[in-house]
């Protein structure tokens, strides 16, 4: 093992890079621990200076959003690097659709793109110039530019994929949520109690829908009106079907119509849409199967069918054409 590390430049670079990462991690953990102790000492000093002072604990949202990436983004902005985006509202909507509801999510997203632009080309340069033969300038420039573009757009692709997956999960479980809501409302529960009950029942089967309904229930208990709570729920979900559902609930509440009848009609429509989506995916299968069929199997079949004719040409026709 030691001989391999001593003889291979790539192995030496890997060992040194691992040691560097471990050292940086240890220093970062020590810095966080020292910062925590310093914060506690400051709070104790405030209590000693002001005997009547009362410590105000941070909110749960602030504690959840306070992480390493958030502190790093705040430190960079404090150093003078602006991480705000020119289209901040659109970026916030995209991140909310992907499930990132923290106020610091747009800044962390910009920071991830900035890190990707620099880290990927620098990693390639470190690997390329650690070998015996360094690459040419043109090759280094082209690969470095490609990796920089990849680091710039890779967070966008990840957020879009996460948003699509979250949307599919919400659409897959929302018809079941409507059926449970209908059962609860027809059994005599109010819309708030029905949403609370369904949210607790769907924790294991559909956790995203359960979280969305639980947040709406907490907002209603905190004193928000039905319209505000349902509109915020639609804004967080970022799915057209859930927006239509909240609009129906708000209109039924304002007009005084039966919520159970409205939900029954909309649940039937949602089940029909889910059936149509399943049929659409089933009809796409022959087209998707034709791609590996053409790429993998068709050349082999053509080769097998044409091989006897090629052998016959090589043995008989080509010698006759050459005068043999």
- Residue 208 predicted with pLDDT over 60: yes
Q: Contact 11/4 with Cβ under 8 angstroms?
A: yes
pLDDT at 205 over 80: yes
Q: How far apart are CA 44 and CA 61, in angstroms?
A: 24
- Segment 13-23 shows an average pLDDT of 74
Q: What is the mean pLDDT of residues 5-11?
A: 61
Q: Is the pLDDT of residue 56 over 50?
A: no
Residues 164, 157: Cα–Cα separation, whole Å: 11
pLDDT at 240 over 50: yes
Whether the per-residue pLDDT at 299 is higher than 80: the answer is yes
Please give the mean pLDDT across all residues of the chain: 78
Question: Per-residue confidence at 109, pLDDT binned at 50, 70, 90?
Answer: confident
Question: What is residue 37's predicted lDDT score, i.e. its pLDDT?
Answer: 79
3-state SS, one letter per residue, for 134-197? CCCHHHHHHHHHHHHHHHHHHHHHHHHHHHHHHHHHHHHHHHHHHHHHHHHHHCCCCHHHHHHH
Average pLDDT over residues 108-118: 83
pLDDT value of position 13: 64
Residue 52: per-residue pLDDT:
46
**106 Cβ contact list (under 8 Å, min separation 6):** 83, 84, 85, 88, 91, 92, 95
pLDDT, greater one: 52 or 228: 228
How far apart CA 181 and CA 222 sit, in angstroms, is 22
| pLDDT, average across residues 73-101 | 72
Lowest mean pLDDT among 69-83, 89-103, 142-156, 276-290: 69-83
189 has a pLDDT exceeding 60: yes
Indicate if the alpha-carbon torsion angle 125, 128, 131, 132 is positive or negative.
Answer: negative
DSSP 1-57: -HHHHHH-HHHHHHHHHHHHHHHHHHHHHHHHHHHHHHHHHHHHHHHHH-TT----P
Give dist(CA 219, CA 143) in Å, integer: 51
Report the C-alpha gap between 163 and 237 in whole angstroms: 10
Q: Which two tokens stand for residue 269?
A: 């429509």
The architecture that CATH gives domain 167-276 is Up-down Bundle (1.20)
What is the pLDDT, as a whole number, of residue 81? 63
Retrieve residue 89's tokens: 């509202």
- Reduced to 3 states, what is the DSSP secondary structure of residue 258? coil
Residue 65 clears pLDDT 70, i.e. is over it: no
83 or 256, higher pLDDT:
256
Q: Report pTM.
A: 0.62
211, 144 contact by CB (below 8 A): no
Q: Which of 8-12, 17-21, 172-176 has the lowest mean pLDDT?
A: 8-12
Domain residue extents for the chain: 1-49, 167-276
**Half-sphere exposure of residue 288: CA atoms within 13 angstroms, side-chain side:** 6
Distance (Å, whole) CA 60 – CA 305: 70
- Please report the pLDDT score of residue 182 as a whole number: 87
Whether residue 62 is predicted with pLDDT greater than 60 in this model: the reply is: no
């Amino acid at each position: 093992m030691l001989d391999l590390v001593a003889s291979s430049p790539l192995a030496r670079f890997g060992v040194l890079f691992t040691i560097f990462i471990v050292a940086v991690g240890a220093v970062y953990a020590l810095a966080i621990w020292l910062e925590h102790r310093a914060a506690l000492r400051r709070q104790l000093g405030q209590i000693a200076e002001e005997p009547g002072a009362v410590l105000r604990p941070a909110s749960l949202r602030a504690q959840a959003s306070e992480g390493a990436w958030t502190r790093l983004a705040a430190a960079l902005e404090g150093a003078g690097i602006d991480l705000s985006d020119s289209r901040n509202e659109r970026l916030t909507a995209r991140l909310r659709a992907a499930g990132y509801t923290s106020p610091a999510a747009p800044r962390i997203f910009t920071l991830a793109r900035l890190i990707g632009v620099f880290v990927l080309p620098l990693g390639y340069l470190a690997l390329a110039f650690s070998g015996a033969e360094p690459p040419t300038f043109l090759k280094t420039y082209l690969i470095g530019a490609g990796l920089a573009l990849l680091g710039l757009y890779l967070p966008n692709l990840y957020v879009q994929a996460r948003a699509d997956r979250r949307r599919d999960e919400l659409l897959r479980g929302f018809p079941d949520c409507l059926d449970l809501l209908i059962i609860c409302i027809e059994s005599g529960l109010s819309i708030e109690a029905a949403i609370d009950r369904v949210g607790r029942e769907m924790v294991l089967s559909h956790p995203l829908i359960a979280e969305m309904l639980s947040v709406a229930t907490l907002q209603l208990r905190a004193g928000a009106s039905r319209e505000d709570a349902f509109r915020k729920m639609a804004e967080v979900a970022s799915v057209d079907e859930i927006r239509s559902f909240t609009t129906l609930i708000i209109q039924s509440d304002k007009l005084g119509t039966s919520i159970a009848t409205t939900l029954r009609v909309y649940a039937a429509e949602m089940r029909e849409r889910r059936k149509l989506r399943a049929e659409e995916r089933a009809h796409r299968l022959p087209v998707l199967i034709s791609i590996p069929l053409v790429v993998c199997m068709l050349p082999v079949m053509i080769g097998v069918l044409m091989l006897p004719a090629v052998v016959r040409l090589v043995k008989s026709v080509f010698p006759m054409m050459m005068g043999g």
